[in-house]
Amino acid sequence: MNQELFALAQQDLAALEAELLSVVDSPVDLVHKISDHLVQAGGKRLRPALYFLCARSSGGQPATMMPLATAIEMIHMATLVHDDVVDSSNTRRGRPTANSLWGNQMSVLTGDYLFAKAFALIATQVNQNMLRVLADVICAMCEGEIIQNQFIFQLDQSEQEYYARIAKKTADFIAASCELGALSAGLTEEATNGMRQYGYALGMAFQITDDILDVTASSAQIGKPAGNDLRQGIITLPVLRALTVAEERDSLRSLLEQKVVLNDEEVRQALDIVHASDGVAYAYAKVDAYLQQAKEVLPDCLKENFRETFCQVADFVNLRKC
């Protein structure tokens, strides 16, 4: 994420980096080494950034802000390291994944360690409702990933099924990050609910954009192979749309009906068909609608500078187009 965008949380985000490095300092060398690699690999820190913004939105600095933001990012890191095992990914953000460097075994265990360490960090610090929100969202993410795996190469899934899946996989966690921030700030129930809905809509837009980038961006731009999802049979919105409306939809269906990982030439052919259809434009229209919705649900009580920032974050998601 653009640093300026999070100017209101910039100091918090800098402190978070130090905190993350300190928390993963396990007495077991290899745990420390892998966790450290994950922290150093960076990332957008979108979830803690949104958490910080929400937590500071009522003007205060909640005492348990830093541990909670740290736990949120550690949980995100844990899901990424397990996702990379599940997807057998070799690179993420242009750097080698933990599984490619240390193998699946160590990556599974390090992910578990990060999950548990996140809860250990906050168990005695935040209230139990917050712990519940976090635990629930991990359940949802696992369900989302499992559903995604079940739907691989399933060409007759509905758009609703796609939205339900990305909600569990991505949007619920971003919603929870905003909700936890609002709870930390002591916002009213109505305002907390508004921030949660903002996070949800932003998260949906974010995931659809990611799914668009999979079919439009070059490998260099996204730090992983282009067409990666398509290759593995993960049917994203632009592809789902192309399967319905593309002129050569029968060819696209034939390519994917083989139900085996696509080779480079097949990926190229499939991408050409998607690009020739309105799949990408259709998906961007959905992104726009979600971002519009995100802005509309922002609670009235927000101070102007925070409202502006939340709107800018929404605009930024829209600018990730390639």
The answer for residues whose C-beta is within 8 angstroms of residue 114's C-beta and 6 or more apart is 24, 35, 38, 74, 75, 77, 78, 81
Give the type of residue at 293: Q
Between 79 and 216, CB nearer to its own copies: 79
Angle between helices 65-86 and 172-185 (to 10 degrees): 170
Task: Give the DSSP H/E element, type plus range, for residue 122.
Answer: helix 98-122
Between 121 and 252, CB nearer to its own copies: 121
Query: How far apart are CB 295 and its own copies at their closest, in Å?
Result: 31
281 vs 292: CA distance, rounded Å:
16
Q: In terms of Cα–Cα distance, which of 244, 137, 149, 143 is closest to 196?
A: 137
Q: In terms of Cα–Cα distance, which of 82, 70, 92 is closest to 24?
A: 70
Between 82 and 241, CB nearer to its own copies: 82
100 vs 112: CA distance, rounded Å:
18
Query: How far apart are CB 284 and its own copies at their closest, in Å?
Result: 29
Between 125 and 312, CB nearer to its own copies: 125
**DSSP at 9:** G
Query: How far apart are CB 30 and its own copies at their closest, in Å?
Result: 6
Query: How far apart are CB 38 and its own copies at their closest, in Å?
Result: 14
Between 78 and 302, CB nearer to its own copies: 78
Please, what's the b/e burial string for 19-52 (b: 16 or more CB within 10 A of its CB; e: otherwise)? bbeebbebeeeebebbbebbbebebebbbbbbbb
The residues of the shown chain that bind its own copies, judged by CB under 8 A, are 26-28, 30-31, 79, 82, 85-86, 104-106, 108-113, 115-117, 119-120, 123-124, 128-129, 131-132, 134-136, 138-139, 141-143, 145-147, 149-150
Query: How far apart are CB 271 and its own copies at their closest, in Å?
Result: 25
Q: In terms of Cα–Cα distance, which of 73, 76, 98 is closest to 87?
A: 98
Between 82 and 196, CB nearer to its own copies: 82
Query: How far apart are CB 184 and its own copies at their closest, in Å?
Result: 16
Query: How far apart are CB 201 and its own copies at their closest, in Å?
Result: 23
Between 24 and 240, CB nearer to its own copies: 24
Q: In terms of Cα–Cα distance, which of 207, 211, 247 is closest to 229?
A: 211
Answer yes or no: are the C-beta atoms of 153 and 45 closer than 8 Å.
Answer: no
Between 134 and 187, CB nearer to its own copies: 134
Query: How far apart are CB 46 and its own copies at their closest, in Å?
Result: 21
Give strand ranges (E) for the chain: 91-92, 95-96
